Amino acid sequence: MKTTSVAMLTIALVAVGVRPSGAQVTVRDLEVTAGAAVEGYRGNMSSVTLPVVDSTDRASAAVAEFGTRGRLLFLNTPVRGFRIDFDGGIRQFAASGFELSDYAPRELVGRLDGVYRQSIGSLGTLTAAFGYKGRSVVDRPPMPLFIQPGYGAASGALWLQFAEFRGIQLDSELMAEWADYGAHALFPQLDLLDNRSTRLEVGGTWGQEWQVRLYSAVRFTDFQRQGTNLPADPFRRDRMIEAGATWTLHVPVVVRLGVSGIFNRSNSARPEYDAIRFRGSLVVPLPYDLNGTLYTSLTGKNYKHDFEFIRLVPGEEADNGSVAYIGLHRALTPTLNGQVRFGWTRAETDVGGAFYERYGLSFFLSFRPALH
Amino acid sequence: MKPGAFTAFLSATRLLVGLTVLATAAPQALWTQEADVEVRLRSAELEHNSARSEWDSAMRAFRAAEARWQRALDDVNAAEARGDEDVYKQALARFHTQAIQLETQEARERETAGRMSDTRDDLMAVLAESRDELYQDALDADTQEESRELAALYQDRDNRYRELERQGAPPGRIQPVTLPEVTFDPRDGPDEIEGKIRLLQLRIRQIDVQITAIDERIGALEKRQRQERDLQSLITGVERFDDAFVPVTSPDPLTDMTDTESGGAALPSDSTVVSLDELSLQQQIEGLQLLREQMFARKQHLEGRTEGFRQRLLRMTTS
């Protein structure tokens, strides 16, 4: 995918071209990670977005990955600031257990975000951001080894954070996004996922030792390639309302818990649903200088209309996946961290009510150079 | 005219012309050389006075920055004693600013001191040259009166040279002023000196306690920073390849826009991704490390002064 290549090249140039000791640019939070994993997959089902189907209901893969991320500060004063965040990586699978072939899918991902912050006096702080994210996938295998398809997505956002008033800090965010999925000429189904969306969110935060945030958001999404079979309103348009809360504690352990309710309505009957999502992240100190981490997202969904056989296009409304990741971390040297991670995923595929599962055990080494 | 006579005539003419040129040009060259030295001396004086003025100004600014640093440090200690974490963080942020300002002023003082040292060396070199010439001129003077005049000029240049020599180079590194009132007094006896040593040692112990407290706080912050980095590492590792968005959802919104570089601690939207508060943690750690360095410098200074008093006491008791 050309756009992804451009993004990766940009990231590489930025990463190579910047000197940590340069007077103009400060590098923060630079991390290089390499790791290996073994993964297992369960669930035999077809997928609209995959050209091949395999009869196996179990597969496994050995996985190797390499990634890097960091932050470049070009300007950082109390009044204004400008930074670029970058993140990129490559992941190679060696799959086995399929009836048809031994697949060797490879993912290449990259992301670049620019963020400009400007103080607007006693009113608060205004932040403008733009970003591009891209990924490409080679040799995408059939289910149950699910790998996201390639896409490119550009986004822009304005975020206004008001000054604290009587212990409450209000904020508002307006975001727009354009997503283009990389469909092959002989397999155009992925183009159905192309979309444009706009999201407006308002929220309020209070608390010192722990913080609570209540927020509400509305999102408008146009799928310009998905037809509705309605001559008067031929393309799918979704309207989503979300309301939720997060609770955060930083000391003595870092915990963040969130719950949100989602109401999705559309001019197409299939993707109308109500959902509830719980998300949480946690880090706790353990004996032997270990830190334990947890990251989880659990979603339950109820479709408004009953169809005997709902054939979904992945991405349009199949966000009822549940994931849980548990990690054990230990500093091996002042700049090198080791991490063992166990991951579990259970998600609905193209076919409504049909789920696949994924288990993975990974080991990572993360290098954080001392930049001061 | 015979050829030999013509050659002799040419030689005599050349000799006359040469003597004439020498007779007129030599005083001019000597005068020019003397004027050149005077011009260079004047220029060197101006350069040195300018450099000295700059150094005085930088030194005053350094002392002012040091007084502000001390007040900010007092605020940090007071906030820590009260146990109010928010007030402590604010005081630490202010202290960090003052500590950076103090470093900046110290660097400025070093820079101006270096320039002053260079101009002093230049001035001394020109003074020495001028002084030596005047000495020679006084010896070669035609009259006694002229010799006396030149000797007076010589004496003034020599005095100026010795004055600069006595001033010496500016201190290479500013010694921090802690307990400035504790100085050696010629009237001090062994008891007074021992009392001053005890006072300095008490201050050293206080600084040791402060350094230990700073180390503990740095350790706690680094532990918290590592926790947050570990969680961040897990989450970014999962999200990098879209494993957290299954099967396919619209790509996640822009990365969180919180800008904790400025010390803010705003939250990302609906995400459970941990806030990148670690950057403000990093700033806190850097501030404390700077504080530790500056406290350690003061401790070393006090130890040096204590040792000086001990030496005096030893000399007193052995004599």
Residues in chain B within 8 Å Cβ distance of A248 = 267, 275
Percent of chain A with pLDDT over 90: 43
Residue of A nearest to B223 (CA): A285
Q: What percent of chain A has pLDDT over 70?
A: 85
On chain B, the residues whose CB falls within 8 A of the CB of A318 are 246-249
- DSSP tag of B187: T
Q: Averaged over A188-199, what is the pLDDT? A: 84
What H or E segment, with its residue span, contains residue B313?
A: helix B278-318
How far, in Å, are A110, A143, A164 from residue A309 at the CA level?
Answer: 37, 19, 51
Spatial separation of the C-alpha atoms in residues A194 and A187, rounded to whole Å = 14
Distance from CA of A129 to the nearest CA of B (A): 7
* Predicted local confidence at residue B89, as pLDDT: 75
Average pLDDT, stretch B37-57? 90
**Interchain pair A85, B255: CB under 8 A:** yes
Please give the Cα distance from A184 to A190 (Å, whole number).
8
pLDDT tens, residue by residue, A63-93: 999 999 999 989 887 788 899 999 999 999 9
* Residue B22 pLDDT > 70: no
Look at residue B20 and tell me whether its pLDDT is greater than 80.
no
User: How far apart are the C-alpha atoms of B58 and B42, rounded to whole Å?
Assistant: 24
pTM: 0.67
Q: Which of A169-173, A304-308, B160-164, B239-243 has the lowest mean pLDDT?
A: A304-308
pLDDT category of residue B172 using cuts at 50, 70 and 90: low
Query: CA–CA separation, A80 vs B171, rounded Å?
Result: 39
Residue B171's pLDDT is what? 61
pLDDT over 90 percentage in chain B? 8
Per-residue pLDDT tens digits for A242-282: 999 999 987 778 899 999 999 989 888 777 888 898 989 99
Q: Is the pLDDT of residue B310 over 70?
A: yes
B2 pLDDT above the threshold of 70: no
Chain centroid to CA A31: 18
CB of A196 within 8 A of CB of A222? yes
- Spell out which residues of chain A touch residue B257, defining contact as CB-CB under 8 Å: 115, 117, 127, 129, 157, 159, 173
Dump the DSSP string for A94-146: EEE--SS-----EEEEEEEEEEEEEE-GGGEEEEEEEEEEEEEEESPPPTTS-
Asked if B214 and B295 touch (Cβ cutoff 8 Å), the reply is: yes
What are the structure tokens assigned to A322, written together? 């549940």
Cβ–Cβ pairs < 8 A, chains A and B: 214
Q: Which residues of B touch A171 (CB under 8 A)?
A: 266
pLDDT reading at A360 higher than 90: yes
Distances (CA, A) of B50 to A237, B42, B116, B130, B146: 75, 12, 8, 21, 34
Given phi > 0 = left and psi -120 to 50 = alpha, else beta, which region is A121? Answer: left
Q: Which of helix, strand or coil describes residue A211?
A: strand
Nearest to A281 among B237, B250, B274 (CB): B274
Quick one: chain B helix, strand, coil %, rounded to 5? 80, 0, 20
CA distance B102 to B111: 14
Averaged pLDDT for residues A31-40: 94
Q: What is the pLDDT of residues B236-294, one digit of tens each?
A: 888 888 887 644 444 343 334 444 443 333 333 333 333 333 346 777 788 788 888 88
Q: Please tell me the least confidently modeled range out of A250-254, A276-280, A368-372, B178-182.
A: B178-182
The residue that leads in pLDDT, A248 or B170, is A248
Indicate whether A126 pLDDT > 80. Answer: yes
**B284 within 8 A of B227, measured Cβ to Cβ:** no
In this predicted structure, what is the pLDDT of residue A107? 94
Rg of chain B over Cα atoms, rounded to whole angstroms, equals: 35
- What is the pLDDT confidence band of residue A311, given thresholds at 50, 70 and 90? low
What's the rounded Cα separation, in Å, for the pair B221 and B281? Answer: 7
Q: In this predicted model, what pLDDT tens digit does every residue of A315-357 receive, in sequence order? A: 444 556 788 999 999 999 989 999 999 999 887 766 666 678 8
Residue with tokens 């969110």: A201
pLDDT band, residue B192 (cuts 50/70/90): confident
Q: Backbone phi, then psi, for B197, in 5-degree steps? A: -60, -45
pLDDT confidence band for A300 (50 / 70 / 90): confident
What pLDDT does B30 receive? Answer: 52
pLDDT at A39: 93
